[in-house]
């Protein structure tokens, strides 16, 4: 990390009431204070006290009336001297303030550089820093809760506890090597075996939580499939609450995949409206149908939309059986009989549900918004997400998951080595590898700037 003083707008771009410009670095006060005046006179910025003043350009012109707050090192987000300037959210004002700061000696911050400095200065570990990005991107209650838990260090504390115990055993193993000629044993092999099995069980639980965490983070994919004119696009529009897809009584209107997200019971779902399934000679429509079956395979939940009036007349269509054949055991099926407002209620009640292969059933009218809440509840049931208690640790980061898998392999080799009576130097090597891999998650073992850059480049500028 260099000694540059950086600056950037910390709030989202666009017109608004207030924007926040953040400055961080050893010369933050030196570069910023000359620009701040009160009744034309220089001001001081006491630690963590908001001061109303003006921000002046290098030529002395007043750019805006602002509120400036200083956070003196090390008691700041980055651990450096930090100044936050709250100004009016005018693009002109923001750009001129930044240009003035850059002319004074600051440099424009790179994406994620403030959080990267917080990590490098020991204000948070790497897994907590990554949780900052997840918190900013959270769109649902579940995403927010998961990111907050990780940012507060629950995952880090779990890993640090495991690493400390592994280091203890590794130290004893390596101490034995210094007394190898005297045949001295410091590390109790039975105790180490018991602990190794326990830590593998705990890592397994963390690994298994990734399915839940990944679903919460990215949204559960739900494919909407079915014959043409069954009401798929109307259903999507009703679920997302806007006219996302074109609705028409012309067959084959939807020719490409349309996606949008909806939060149900605090969980994010990604709904995917697909082209209607039918036999067609139209080349473009055929490509859309091919994409429909591809998206069907990627979905965790499949909604098959059928026109109840057509079913009463002609029974289940052949495309329904085609969909069933494409399902895999992990997928959940919900058969949705649409347009109940156009069908005789007695005929609907007499419909034989026993012909359905699996999954659940919902009778709705998407156009009239009938029974849509019931459908939403069935979707939530189909997601089958386990409940998460307050203290449960759920991982959602693919990098963390990959490192846990590798650490687990090293620890299983330790268990196998202990069972087969391997020497301490070989066991110590596998233990060291597991410690290193767990350390990479929190950043304790990361030395490559390329790895850090790859992690922080996905952050927004100003964070």
pLDDT at 155 over 70: yes
* Least confident residue range of 24-28, 118-122, 326-330, 409-413: 326-330
pLDDT at 358 over 80: no
pLDDT at 119 over 60: yes
SS3 394: coil
Question: Where is pLDDT greater, at 48 or 324?
Answer: 48
Question: Where is pLDDT greater, at 309 or 446?
Answer: 309
Q: What is the pLDDT, as a whole number, of residue 216?
A: 80
Question: Where is pLDDT greater, at 283 or 393?
Answer: 393
Clarify whether residues 116 and 183 are in a common domain: no
Q: What percent of the chain has pLDDT over 90?
A: 24
Residue 241 lies in a domain: yes
Question: Where is pLDDT greater, at 434 or 138?
Answer: 434
Residue 389 lies in a domain: no
Q: What is the pLDDT, as a whole number, of residue 77?
A: 93
Q: What is the pLDDT, as a whole number, of residue 280?
A: 47
| Angle (CA) 98 112 442, round 5° | 155
Contacts of 189 (CB under 8 A, 6+ apart): 418
Clarify whether residues 246 and 343 are in a common domain: yes
Question: Where is pLDDT greater, at 23 or 254?
Answer: 23
Q: What is the pLDDT, as a whole number, of residue 258?
A: 72
Clarify whether residues 225 and 208 are in a common domain: no
The CA–CA distances, whole Å, from 356 to 297, 315, 320, 336, 360 equal 20, 11, 10, 11, 9
Choose the final residue of a domain: 106, 125, 144. 125
Q: What is the pLDDT, as a whole number, of residue 26?
A: 95
Tens digit of pLDDT for each residue in 254-284? 434 577 888 888 788 888 876 554 444 444 4
pLDDT at 115 over 60: yes
The CA–CA distances, whole Å, from 93 to 42, 57, 87, 244, 288 equal 21, 10, 8, 36, 47
Clarify whether residues 253 and 354 are in a common domain: yes
Sequence ranges of the binding site: 22, 84, 123, 229-234, 248-254, 273-276, 463
Quick one: CA dihedral 367, 373, 376, 378, positive or negative?
negative
Count up the domains in the chain and report the number.
Answer: 3
Question: Where is pLDDT greater, at 44 or 240?
Answer: 44
Q: What is the pLDDT, as a whole number, of residue 251?
A: 41
Clarify whether residues 307 and 275 are in a common domain: yes
Which range of residues forms the domain containing residue 103? 6-125
pLDDT at 318 over 60: yes
Clarify whether residues 379 and 415 are in a common domain: no
Which CATH number is 317's domain given? 3.40.50.300
Exposed, middle or buried: residue 432 (CB in 10 Å: 0-12, 13-18, 19+)? middle
Sequence ranges of the binding site for Mg(2+): 233, 254
Radius of gyration of the chain (CA): 29
Q: What is the pLDDT, as a whole number, of residue 342?
A: 85
Q: What is the pLDDT, as a whole number, of residue 284?
A: 45
Q: What percent of the chain has pLDDT over 70?
A: 80
* Through-space distance between the first and last CA atoms of the chain, rounded to whole angstroms: 16
Average pLDDT over residues 166-186: 66
Range from 74-88, 132-146, 179-193 that averages highest in pLDDT? 74-88
Residue 455 lies in a domain: no
Clarify whether residues 120 and 136 are in a common domain: no
Exposed, middle or buried: residue 219 (CB in 10 Å: 0-12, 13-18, 19+)? buried
Contacts of 387 (CB under 8 A, 6+ apart): none
Residue 24 lies in a domain: yes
pLDDT at 361 over 70: yes
pLDDT at 247 over 50: no
Q: What is the pLDDT, as a whole number, of residue 196?
A: 82
Clarify whether residues 234 and 286 are in a common domain: yes
Sequence ranges of the binding site for (6S)-5-formyl-5,6,7,8-tetrahydrofolate: 22, 84, 123, 463
Question: Where is pLDDT greater, at 447 or 267?
Answer: 267
Choose the final residue of a domain: 359, 383, 407. 383
pLDDT at 228 over 80: no
Choose the final residue of a domain: 360, 383, 406. 383
Range from 5-19, 24-38, 243-257, 423-437 that averages highest in pLDDT? 24-38
How many helices (H) and strands (E) in the chain?
16, 14
Clarify whether residues 278 and 354 are in a common domain: yes
Q: What is the pLDDT, as a whole number, of residue 451?
A: 63
Residue 463 lies in a domain: no
Query: Mean pLDDT score of the chain, rounded to an integer?
Result: 80
Residue 458 lies in a domain: no
Which CATH number is 406's domain given? 1.20.120.430
Average pLDDT over residues 195-212: 85
Query: Could you tell me the pLDDT band of residue 447, with boundaries at 50, 70 and 90?
Result: low
| Secondary structure letter of residue 361 according to DSSP | E
Exposed, middle or buried: residue 55 (CB in 10 Å: 0-12, 13-18, 19+)? buried
Query: Could you tell me the pLDDT band of residue 183, with boundaries at 50, 70 and 90?
Result: low
pLDDT at 316 over 90: no
Residue 256 lies in a domain: yes
Which CATH number is 31's domain given? 3.30.1360.120
Clarify whether residues 46 and 163 are in a common domain: no
Sequence ranges of the binding site for K(+): 229, 248, 250, 253
Tens digit of pLDDT for each residue in 38-54? 988 999 999 999 999 99
Residue 456 lies in a domain: no
75 touches 48 (CB < 8 A): yes
Clarify whether residues 305 and 350 are in a common domain: yes
Sequence ranges of the binding site for GTP: 229-234, 248-254, 273-276
Clarify whether residues 308 and 180 are in a common domain: no
């Amino acid at each position: 990390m260099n000694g540059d003083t950086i600056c950037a707008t910390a709030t989202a771009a666009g017109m608004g009431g207030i924007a926040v410009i953040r400055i961080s670095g050893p010369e933050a006060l030196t570069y910023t204070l000359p620009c701040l005046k009160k009744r034309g006179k220089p001001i001081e910025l006491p630690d963590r006290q908001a001061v109303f003043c003006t921000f002046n350009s290098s030529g002395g012109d007043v750019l805006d009336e602002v509120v400036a707050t200083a956070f003196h090192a090390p008691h700041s987000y980055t651990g450096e001297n930090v100044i936050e300037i709250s100004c009016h959210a005018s693009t002109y004002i923001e750009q001129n303030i930044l240009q003035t700061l850059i002319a004074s000696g600051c440099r424009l911050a790179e994406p994620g550089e403030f959080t990267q400095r917080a990590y490098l200065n020991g204000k948070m570990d790497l897994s907590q820093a990554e949780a900052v990005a997840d918190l900013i991107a959270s769109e649902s209650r579940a995403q927010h809760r998961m990111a907050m838990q990780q940012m507060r260090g629950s995952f880090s504390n779990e890993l640090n506890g495991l690493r400390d115990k592994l280091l203890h055993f590794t130290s004893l193993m390596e101490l034995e090597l210094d007394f190898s000629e005297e045949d001295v044993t410091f590390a109790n092999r039975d105790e180490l075996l018991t602990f190794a099995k326990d830590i593998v069980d705990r890592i397994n639980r963390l690994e298994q939580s990734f399915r839940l965490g990944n679903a919460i983070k990215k949204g559960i994919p739900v494919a909407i499939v079915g014959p043409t004119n069954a009401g798929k696009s109307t259903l999507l529009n009703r679920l997302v609450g806007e006219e996302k897809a074109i609705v028409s009584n012309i067959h084959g209107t939807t020719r490409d995949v349309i996606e949008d997200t909806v939060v149900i019971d605090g969980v994010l779902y990604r709904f995917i409206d697909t082209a209607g399934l039918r036999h067609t000679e139209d080349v473009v429509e055929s490509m859309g149908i091919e994409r429909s079956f591809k998206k069907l395979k990627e979905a965790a939940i499949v909604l098959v939309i059928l026109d109840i009036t057509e079913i009463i007349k002609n029974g289940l269509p052949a495309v329904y059986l085609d969909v069933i054949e494409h399902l895999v055991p992990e997928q959940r099926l919900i058969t949705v009989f649409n347009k109940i407002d156009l069908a005789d209620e007695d005929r609907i009640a007499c419909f034989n549900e026993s012909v359905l292969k699996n999954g659940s059933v919902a009778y709705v009218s998407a156009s009239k918004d009938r029974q849509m809440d019931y459908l939403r509840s069935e979707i939530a049931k189909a997601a089958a997400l386990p409940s998460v208690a307050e203290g449960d640790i759920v991982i959602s980061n693919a990098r963390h998951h990959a490192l846990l898998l590798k650490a687990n392999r090293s620890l299983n080799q330790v268990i196998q080595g202990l069972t087969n009576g391997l020497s301490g130097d070989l066991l110590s090597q596998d233990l060291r590898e597991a410690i290193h891999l767990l350390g990479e998650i929190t950043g304790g073992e990361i030395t490559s700037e390329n790895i850090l850059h790859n992690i922080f480049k996905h952050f927004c500028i100003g964070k």
